[in-house]
Chains A and B, each alone.
Chain A
């Protein structure tokens, strides 16, 4: 059974700092890995999707990497802004996603 773990559970940083969120999974036979953002009480916004054959994806200030052999993915956020404050979720799978419990990020001005 696939299990997804995200560390840290919560993170508080000052504006402008670069930061890394971590995601690990137990079964390396994944199809895709997806990073989402969730604002309080709201739905999920897809940030990046990495196919199993890829090693990284970039979108603006976000960069996600995937290392299947070690069962890890990282989400790098450059020059953090208060608007980045949200919960970041990592999910693996193809049709049925298995989610981690998320990292709650607070970026203070």
Chain B
């Protein structure tokens, strides 16, 4: 069974540009989560999508947005990039079949560098 996949693995942008990051969940998983891991700040929750709807978002500005497609894959968009957006962006997925357990399975991440 394939795990969570993310693309691209690395992304280099300049300040003010837009970045698009993609995630494909494990087959059968309907929930997708996005987390940011910036140096020194640890992992912080960004967004949660389930069944195509945004269910929750973390304490991030509106220029961080995303969507979930009918096949449950997801896209994270970051507009007006700032230097501090440089981080490892991790996507995770989980299945709604075991709601009490809800183990999240993580992808390898996209490393975004903003110059």
Chain A residues in the interface with B (C-beta under 8 A): 31-32, 34, 36, 41-46, 49, 51, 89, 91, 94-102
Contacts and interface: CB of A to CB of B under 8 A. Distances in A.
B100 A95 contact: no
B48 interface: yes
B104 A46 contact: yes
Contacts of A99: 35, 42-44
6 residue pairs, one from A and one from B, having the closest CB atoms? A44-B106, A99-B43, A101-B42, A43-B106, A43-B108, A96-B45
Contacts of A31: 100, 102
Interface of B: 4, 31, 33, 35, 42-45, 48, 55-56, 58, 88, 90, 92, 94, 100-109, 111
6 contacts: A31-B100, A34-B104, A46-B104, A95-B48, A96-B33, A101-B42
A45 B90 CA distance: 12
Given A43-B106, A45-B106, A100-B42, A95 B55 contact: yes
Given A32-B101, A34-B103, A46-B104, A95 B109 contact: no
A16 B20 CA distance: 45
Contacts of A89: 43
A74 B63 CA distance: 38
Contact of A49 (B31, B48, B92, B103): B103
